[in-house]
Amino acid sequence: MNPTDLDHVLTVLGTALWSTDEQSFAEVASTLALTVYDGHTRDQGTPYLEHPLAVVTLLRTEIKVSHPETLVLALLHDALEVAPEAEALLVQHLGARFTARLRAMTADHRLEQRPKAAGDETNWRFKQAALPSEDLLVRFADRLHNLRDLALSPNLDRCRRFLRSLEDFYLPIADVARGLSPHLAAMHALLHAEYDRHQQEVRP
């Protein structure tokens, strides 16, 4: 592993001011992120790791999140989606409680490594709606970055699906959750701004 890669991930997380224990946890998590996401690309052709790093950056710079575990969760939020076989490794190094949070953020068909089936979308929505506030914040940040990145996606169906789910699922949940914390209120505003931007783009 190139040590500058690890240093870059830790810098994006902002670990310099964290406690010694938090820094140790972040180093383990960052090493796992480099391992788990390695070799995976997004549909834009970019290295997959760029996405969770962008989600971390969004949370830190735009929402002003500083809680270490929330930021590490953001770093690894897609780990079980791209590599469900890595679950045992994550439990071994990060613990069962933290890995359970990642499972709750991952679609069942991804965890079970099977094609998406009838009922999976409904189950997914129930899982996400039931997330605790910090985990829901990470999910919203993930969705926001995906929406901002849609212009680079060659998959028009993906673009339509993301915008439709924003309108009929994520925005209603954000409307309800905005009163739970200042962070969720700030995220609510950003999601609505992104929705308005896309609406303006499709108007004749």
**pLDDT tens profile 15-47:** 999 999 999 999 999 999 999 999 999 887 889
Average pLDDT over residues 193-200: 87
More confident residue, 46 or 159: 46
52 within 8 A of 83, measured Cβ to Cβ: no
Query: In whole angstroms, what is the distance from residue 42 CA to residue 158 CA?
Result: 12
| pTM for this prediction | 0.93
**pLDDT tens profile 73-98:** 999 999 999 999 999 999 999 999 99
Long-range contacts of 175-178 (CB under 8 A, 24+ apart): 177/133, 177/136
